[in-house]
Amino acid sequence: MFSRKFLLVCGFAVAALPVVDWAQSASAASRDKAFFQSVSGTWRGPGEIVAGKYKGTKFTCNLIGTPSQGSTAGVKLDGTCRVGVFQQPMSAEITQNGASYNGKFLDGAAGKGLDVTSGSVNDNTVVVGLNRQKLNGAMIARLQDDQSMNVTISVKVEETMVPVIGLSLKREAVDTMTVGSIK
C-alpha cells in the first residue's frame, strides 16, 4: 500500500515556460545538456513524506543518473528507495522535446507511475510537470553544489502547490582505486 501511494505522490508537477527565441533556445539547449551531465553519477540520501496520509514516513534512496546520449538533453535515473525493510525500484526518464520535456516515472501514467508533461532548466534547477489522471504537480531538483541535490515534489490542491515529499541527496564518491590481477 505504501509503495503505490508513494509512487503516485512522487510524480506531480507544474507546467514550465517554453523558450520562444531561437537564439535563446540554442543556448538553453547547451545549458540544459550541461545541467543533466552534472547530475550524472550515484546519489544517495534520506527523504520524508511531509504531507498527506503518510506524513512523517522517512525513507532512503539510492539512484544512478545517466545523461541522455546524443544531442538531446535529458537524464535517466535508476535505483531504489527503502522504507524500513521494504524496498521499491525507482526509475525516471526525462527527455528534451523541443523547448520543453517529456518522459515518465516508473511505467508512466498508463501503468502505476506518472508522466512528465513539461519542464525547464534554469541555472542549477530543473522543474518538471507531472501528471496522473486528474492529479497534477511538480518536481523541483536543485543542485546546491557539485555534491548535493535537493528534490521537492509538490501536488496541486485547488490553486495551491503543496509540498508532499522532500529528499536530500549526496553524490557518492567514485572509487578510483586500481585493482591488479594475480597470476
Checking phi first, is residue 31 left (phi over 0); if not, alpha (psi -120 to 50) or beta?
Answer: alpha
Statement: residue 1 has pLDDT above 60? no
Give the Cα separation of 70 and 115 in Å (integer).
23
Task: Please state, for a pLDDT cut of 90, what percent of the chain lies above it.
Answer: 60
Statement: residue 180 has pLDDT above 90? no
So what's the pLDDT on residue 134? 87
pLDDT (tens digit, 9 = 90+) per residue, 2-59? Answer: 444 444 344 332 222 233 333 344 455 688 889 999 999 999 999 999 999 999 999 9
Q: Kindly state the cell numbers that stand for 32.
A: 540544459
So what's the pLDDT on residue 13? 28
So what's the pLDDT on residue 3? 43
Please state the φ and ψ torsions of residue 46, each to the nearest 5 degrees.
-85, 155
What's the predicted TM-score (pTM) here? 0.77
